[in-house]
Amino acid sequence: MRVPIVDLYAQYLTIKQEIDRAIAEVIAESAYIGGRHVNAFEQTWASTLGVKRCISCANGTDAIYIALRGLRIKHGDEVITSAHSSISTSETITQAGGRVVFCDTDAETFTIDPDDIQRKITPATVGIIPVHLYGQAANMDAIMAIARRHNLWVIEDCGQAHLARYKGRYVGTFGDAATFSFYPDKNFGAYGDAGCVVTNDDRLAEWITTFARHGGKGDHIMEGINSRMDGLQAAILNAKLPHLPAWTEARRYIASRYDEHLHDIGDIIIPKVAPDRDHVYHLYVVRTENRDALRDYLTQAGVSTDLNYPKALPFYSAYAHLGYVPSDFPLACFNQSRTLSLPIYPEMTKEMILHTVKCIGNFFQESQEPDSIHVKVIQFAERC
Ligand SMILES: Cc1ncc(COP(=O)(O)O)c(C=O)c1O
């Protein structure tokens, strides 16, 4: 049996008529740029989340850049973000003129550690970008309290967390602005690149709209950029949105099956969910001391896996000049060689889930004396 990491075609087949109709409408209307599909998407996504404004754009990376520019980041301003994320989160800070300040993650949820945020604040700090990583909300109460205390803005990076909640409230509704990616394999994915910024601040929304559309129509009141969501992508997202709650439930179901079967297999540590958070499982990420061997074994058995991410951000070559060492980000660093993303997507069958679990069980049975992450975690905690 083959278990892909994601199967976008399988999803398409479940909603083929709706998608085909949406695409045909865009073509019939030549509504490729702007137009009713894009407008409808912006309105519907904003009202789904319960925010005032949604400004669509070309992708989730642009969304962060645009939000940063909208919050008027200046050269040398420091922005605090997580050491464990997609490079989109940090590269945009630099591109917008800021200085990236990385924080370590908390031990359980892979999200930014509020205590480390507190330690990293300097007079040059202007904002925080928490990432709701893998589909689980960051600790928003603690983050917003720090932001208020130090007069900082917050941009939530919701690239992996469509419909995730923190204390019952959707992520994307806490900060000054929030950004989404609709990259095809996301929980809510387009058929190409797409993204958006959401905010309750009308003035910010107006500035962002102008900036992302070449600085205005007719009169260009500023030099902007061109970052638009295609009509085709908007129409596809409009067709998909009614299905998102059911797809999210399907992801939760798969995660619960994995939890049930994997919690006592080998040295696997299953993902932890903080009690006040509704995880949407964009990714189901386990930790094991035997990550690379397990990954090879699963590949041989037809089960695809992924590394999200191969390194913690501060340890990529792009940041080598900053000269970080593992003890600067002990948890992110500890996790980078131990995390493994298992297949999870709504169309996964029960047989596929069981096959994946069985293969993992077989791996640990066949390994003579696999290293145990539990021992390592205890040793690591003692050292900290
Ligand atoms: C957390 C996070 N932020 C931002 C992005 C960037 O999104 P995009 O690929 O649409 O530019 C991604 C995409 O992988 C992401 O996972």
Residue 335: CATH number of its domain = 3.90.1150.10
The answer to whether residues 28 and 66 belong to one domain is: yes
Testing ligand 1's pocket by substitution, the residue of 68, 181, 228, 230 carrying the most ligand atoms inside 8 A of its CB is 181
Ligand 1 pocket residue status of 131, Cβ below 6 Å: yes
Helix or strand run (H / E) with residue 256:
helix 244-262
- Picking from 312, 266, 261, the residue whose alpha carbon sits closest to that of residue 284 is 261
Question: How far apart (Å, rounded) are the C-alpha atoms in residues 150 and 127?
Answer: 9
- Picking from 318, 315, 316, 310, the residue whose alpha carbon sits closest to that of residue 330 is 315
What separation, in Å, do the N-terminal and C-terminal C-alpha atoms of the chain show? 43
Q: What is the mean pLDDT of residues 268-285?
A: 97
Ligand 1 pocket residue status of 195, Cβ below 6 Å: yes
Range of the domain at 338: 244-383
Q: Flag the least confident range among 248-252, 279-283, 363-367, 377-381.
A: 377-381
Question: How far apart (Å, rounded) are the C-alpha atoms in residues 155 and 178?
Answer: 5
Question: How far apart (Å, rounded) are the C-alpha atoms in residues 274 and 141?
Answer: 13
Distance in Å, CA 65 to ligand 1 centroid: 12
How confident is the model at residue 367, as a pLDDT?
87
Q: What is the pLDDT of residues 49-68, one digit of tens each?
A: 999 999 999 999 999 999 99
* Any domain includes 260: yes
Ligand 1 pocket residue status of 183, Cβ below 6 Å: yes
Of the two residues 383 and 160, the one the predictor is more confident about is 160
Phi, psi (degrees; rounded to nearest 5) at 194: -165, 155
Structure confidence at residue 376 as a pLDDT band (50, 70, 90)? low
Ligand 1 pocket residue status of 135, Cβ below 6 Å: no
The answer to whether residues 228 and 249 belong to one domain is: no
The answer to whether residues 204 and 324 belong to one domain is: no
* Any domain includes 3: no
Of the two residues 180 and 371, the one the predictor is more confident about is 180
How confident is the model at residue 295, as a pLDDT?
98
pLDDT greater than 60 at residue 47: yes
Distance in Å, CA 384 to ligand 1 centroid: 31
The answer to whether residues 254 and 217 belong to one domain is: no
pLDDT greater than 70 at residue 114: yes
- Picking from 158, 168, 179, 174, the residue whose alpha carbon sits closest to that of residue 64 is 179
Distance in Å, CA 8 to ligand 1 centroid: 18
Average pLDDT of the chain is 96
The answer to whether residues 258 and 378 belong to one domain is: yes
The answer to whether residues 302 and 379 belong to one domain is: yes
Structure confidence at residue 310 as a pLDDT band (50, 70, 90)? very high
pLDDT greater than 90 at residue 372: no
The answer to whether residues 262 and 227 belong to one domain is: no
pLDDT greater than 60 at residue 315: yes
**Total tally of structural domains belonging to the chain:** 2
- Tell how far CA 191 is from the center of its chain: 18
The answer to whether residues 237 and 294 belong to one domain is: no
Bridge partners for 287 per DSSP: 269, 339
Ligand 1 pocket residue status of 60, Cβ below 6 Å: yes
pLDDT greater than 80 at residue 335: yes
The answer to whether residues 221 and 279 belong to one domain is: no
The answer to whether residues 90 and 236 belong to one domain is: yes
The answer to whether residues 192 and 259 belong to one domain is: no
Distance in Å, CA 253 to ligand 1 centroid: 24
Question: In the listed set 242, 264, 296, which residue is the last one of a domain according to the structure?
Answer: 242
The answer to whether residues 187 and 307 belong to one domain is: no
How confident is the model at residue 190, as a pLDDT?
98
Question: How far apart (Å, rounded) are the C-alpha atoms in residues 236 and 240?
Answer: 6
pLDDT greater than 60 at residue 384: no
- CATH code, 168: 3.40.640.10
Exposure string over 59-75, b if 16+ CB within 10 A, otherwise e: bbbbbbbbbbbbbebee
Bridge partners for 341 per DSSP: 285, 306
Question: In the listed set 217, 242, 267, which residue is the last one of a domain according to the structure?
Answer: 242
